[in-house]
Structure 1
């Protein structure tokens, strides 16, 4: 039985794009297996016809785009090849695995200029590597849309917990959730941290499959990601990329130390790391002095932490004991490998606009006898808001207070397993609600 399609927030954006009177070709970007193609095929249900061109499987079709013919002629030929009409307003044309045909990527701008009435979507895995070869690609003529694994919100909706998410959205530090509802949300969050957000894993779980089935899917995904390393760049050995990837997993959430990350020099390690970031498997969190907006104006790219793409895959790679996490009532047990901090960073990235890729930042002050670190920084209006992540309910907030005093931010956020509440100028937002942080009332 084919898996039932599970709602993604990106679906609303895709549908809105399809209804625009003036639209650009859409380039759907993100790591492999995060649900790009599935979302586009779901959008196709709103069209009379759907033409899917997979350049990885049908390499001969690429020759059409190398002849320099008009978009209309390309479509006429595609219509004959696939025996499906391509009619503006009635047909959704989908270029999948477009990274396998550089000429097709280049053609997107001409579709915008000469055939704007046609609905055209493109997607691809390892697409960022292909775009690197086209530095001036489609500026102003192609719209990018970024897709990530499931967020906690999407996980709740997939599990028919829409009412619970509605209650979480309405809660504020001044108006906490009832304790039984808070505990239910924490329990579901614990499951989400273990499962992660990879669509195939979530679909399996929702269908009632066992945790063992979900773990096997994770294993398959990890193998397929590592198999891709050979496709990244010919001048970087696969073994070096694997070493750097393993080092990121072992030290996720901690400052990334280049020395010892692989049996290679700084330049080679940096190159392997950059490839992993481009592939979407590793998400950097960069240090900022945070003296003013934009936060990215005063960064130190040599001071970075690295997050894995997904908490489920991360725990599986590290071989953590899932049963201990499931059976324990102590939420801090879940935080093996700084998983609360990793989850929080991933949720922050998923909660920003899908039309641009927002970077993640942290702040650290290193002075003798006065070290301080804030896990994440976000910009709300004209202010920089510091966020501290705690797995349990304990822990001082010295770093937050120090940041607020030094940078004169209006308030800070602590995210933990506590219910919504507030301590003077610090708002407490439960970990399960951190994806809603940009929308929480002041």
Structure 2
């Protein structure tokens, strides 16, 4: 893809990140170009989420949901993305909080909830790399869930390697790596390939579209073209 188009699409993706992908926020940003108005729309949605806690959740779960809700940014900012109940509250145990966590399992709005200022859109690739790439991983995951059946999993091999997502496409299991910038160095997909020899490996990054020795690199802004690109290679 020529740089003149590629770089423009990366800038558009940054704008999308600011909106959080929420329809009302997207519409506001497109119609007005006003980032602060978009911020207010997102804050209103966040406030509505909090009100939903008291309207729809069991009374016993409301305080727990609020604790979990507040902990989401810090949960995702760690190198190890495994959910830690101790981050929610000291002494918290899974059996006490799992119902509240399930209630929040489909919540979005991470960028606004984390208080990341929209000025990050002008700071190179910071918007993609902030919180150790958690924003970008969530962006990719949301699109994969919308485009494919089933819930993507992940794979780990002790302390050697960790693949961000495993996606089942027909009868194939495809490993996926998400990189929040142009630096795509990593050995996890290589180790996975040595173990299982998948038909193709996927990597989302800020590099151009390219197929190289079984590795299909897809620019982040083309994540919703994944199914089409996989079909083209068959």
TM-score (norm 1): 0.49
| 1:268 aligns with one of 96, 114, 128 | 96
For the pair 1:363 / 2:159, whether they are aligned, the reply is: no
Q: 1 or 2, which has the higher helix percentage?
A: 2
Name the structure 2 match of 1:259. Answer: 86
| Cα separation, 2, equivalents of 1:237 and 1:271 | 8
Unaligned runs of at least 5 residues, structure 1: 1-176, 282-308
For the pair 1:426 / 2:218, whether they are aligned, the reply is: no
Does the CA contact (< 8 Å) of 1:200 and 1:217 recur in 2? Answer: yes
| 2:125 aligns with one of 306, 309, 331 | 331
For the pair 1:321 / 2:148, whether they are aligned, the reply is: no
What does residue range 3-402 of structure 1 map to in structure 2 within 5 Å?
177-252=1-76, 254-262=81-89, 264-277=92-105, 280-281=106-107, 309=108, 313-323=109-119, 325-328=120-123, 330-337=124-131, 338-352=134-148, 358-367=150-159, 371-402=160-191
| Cα separation, 2, equivalents of 1:207 and 1:396 | 39
Unaligned runs of at least 5 residues, structure 2: none
Does the CA contact (< 8 Å) of 1:261 and 1:269 recur in 2? Answer: no
> How many pairs were matched up?
225
- Deviations along 1:116-150, one digit per CA (max 9) or x if unpaired, are xxxxxxxxxxxxxxxxxxxxxxxxxxxxxxxxxxx
Q: For 1:378, what is the secondary structure of its paired residue?
A: strand
- Over 3 Å counting, the alpha-carbon distance change for 1:226 and 1:398 in structure 2 is same
Q: For 1:362, what is the secondary structure of its paired residue?
A: strand
| Cα separation, 1, equivalents of 2:170 and 2:32 | 43
| Cα separation, 1, equivalents of 2:56 and 2:93 | 19
Q: For 1:236, what is the secondary structure of its paired residue?
A: helix
Q: For 2:83, what is the secondary structure of its paired residue?
A: coil
| Cα separation, 2, equivalents of 1:333 and 1:379 | 29
| Cα separation, 1, equivalents of 2:73 and 2:56 | 19
| Post-superposition offset of 1:333 | 4.6
Q: Which runs of 4+ in 1 moved over 4 A?
A: none
Q: For 1:419, what is the secondary structure of its paired residue?
A: coil
Task: Specify the structure having the higher radius of gyration (Cα).
Answer: 1
Does the CA contact (< 8 Å) of 1:248 and 1:256 recur in 2? Answer: no
| Post-superposition offset of 1:426 | 0.9
Name the structure 2 match of 1:32. Answer: none
| Cα separation, 2, equivalents of 1:396 and 1:211 | 34
- Over 3 Å counting, the alpha-carbon distance change for 1:425 and 1:209 in structure 2 is closer
Q: Which shifted more, 396-405 or 214-223?
A: 396-405
| Post-superposition offset of 1:209 | 4.5
- Deviations along 1:197-251, one digit per CA (max 9) or x if unpaired, are 1111111112124111000011110001011111333252422110011222321
